[in-house]
Amino acid sequence: MIESIVNKRTKRILLAFTIFLAAIFAMPLYNLFKRSLGFAGFENYTKVIQLEYFDAFFVNSLLIACSTLVIRIAVVSLAAYAFSKMKFPGRNQLFVIGIIGLFTPPFTLLVSLFQTVKGMNLLDSWIGVSLPLVSFGIGFNLLLFKNYFDTIPNELFEAADIDGASHWDKFRNIILPLGRPAIITGSIFTFINSWNEFFLPLLLVRQTKNFPLTLSPYFFVSAYTSDYSKVYAAMILISIPIILVYLINQRFVESGLTGGAVKG
């Protein structure tokens, strides 16, 4: 085991050094927190929450994150089941095409995205942000889900075939319960990424009342001009849900980072 390559004393030194490094790493965020308490202390936080648009920003972020999550996980689970357990002509080629979006930078499609969403009459709405957002995450999640579904034994499906189960039955009774680790990991990633999404709203949302939290600095800065402590308080508030989601699900997040594809 790797852990046995150093002795106890060295381990303690390493631990001390890592704690020191972690303290340095925490400094920027600690300073953000310190600044957020400037002038009025925690009152900055209550002021931000009471701000007329804060509820709207929060609701918009939640709508974008939740709708993206539900749609993306639904379409990816179905597709990953087919790619993992069904046999049809062109399966492997279609899979490669399906994950090609894995690395497509959203900015390279900005000209067409704007026109497409405009053509759908969805500019300036949360759903107009979620629909493209669903597409950009399909590649990563498809890889993650298929890699995991591949580990579910084929015998289970053959046994179900003998009982006359349809694909839909097998999807509901085998894939959904046994594929849960992948589905949870994909959902957490999708929630975190959509909550943090900055580029698509910047491109597709214009009116302040439709902003998600990630665009809120543009409003707060103009509303407060010199009182940056409230902007920083808002930054802390925006981050809390994400940090909580991560800490509660730390194991899932860390294991799924590469679509479950790192082996040595």
Q: How far is the CB of 5 from another protein (least distance, A)?
A: 5
What is the sign of the dihedral through the CA atoms of 44, 218, 118 and 96? negative
Q: Could you write out the three-class secondary structure of 12-32? A: HHHHHHHHHHHHHHHHHHHHH
Give dist(CA 217, CA 196) in Å, integer. Answer: 13
| Given 45, 126, 136, 148, the residue binding another protein (CB under 8 A) | 136
Q: Using the rule CB under 8 A, is 8 a contact of another protein?
A: no
Q: How far is the CB of 216 from another protein (least distance, A)?
A: 9
Binding window for another protein (CB under 8 A); candidates: 40-48, 51-59, 178-186, 194-202: 194-202
Q: What angle do CA 149, 151, 154 make, to 5 degrees?
A: 85
Q: Using the rule CB under 8 A, is 62 a contact of another protein?
A: no
| Given 163, 207, 225, 264, the residue binding another protein (CB under 8 A) | 264
Q: Using the rule CB under 8 A, is 214 a contact of another protein?
A: yes
Give dist(CA 220, CA 201) in Å, integer. Answer: 16
Residue 105 DSSP class:
-
Q: How far is CA 120 from CA 114, 196, 209, 227, 246, in A?
A: 10, 24, 20, 39, 34
Q: Using the rule CB under 8 A, is 64 a contact of another protein?
A: no
Q: Which of residues 91-110 bind another protein (CB under 8 A)?
A: 91, 94, 96-110
Q: Which of residues 241-260 bind another protein (CB under 8 A)?
A: 242-243, 246-247, 250, 253-255, 257-259
Closest among 259, 7, 17 to 139, alpha carbons compared: 259
Q: Using the rule CB under 8 A, is 164 a contact of another protein?
A: no
Q: How far is the CB of 121 from another protein (least distance, A)?
A: 14
Are 117 and 151 within 8 A, CB to CB? no
Closest among 180, 194, 172, 178 to 241, alpha carbons compared: 194
Q: Using the rule CB under 8 A, is 187 a contact of another protein?
A: no
Q: Using the rule CB under 8 A, is 206 a contact of another protein?
A: no
| Given 9, 22, 93, 226, the residue binding another protein (CB under 8 A) | 22
Q: Using the rule CB under 8 A, is 126 a contact of another protein?
A: no
Q: How far is the CB of 122 from another protein (least distance, A)?
A: 12
Give the type of residue at 80: A
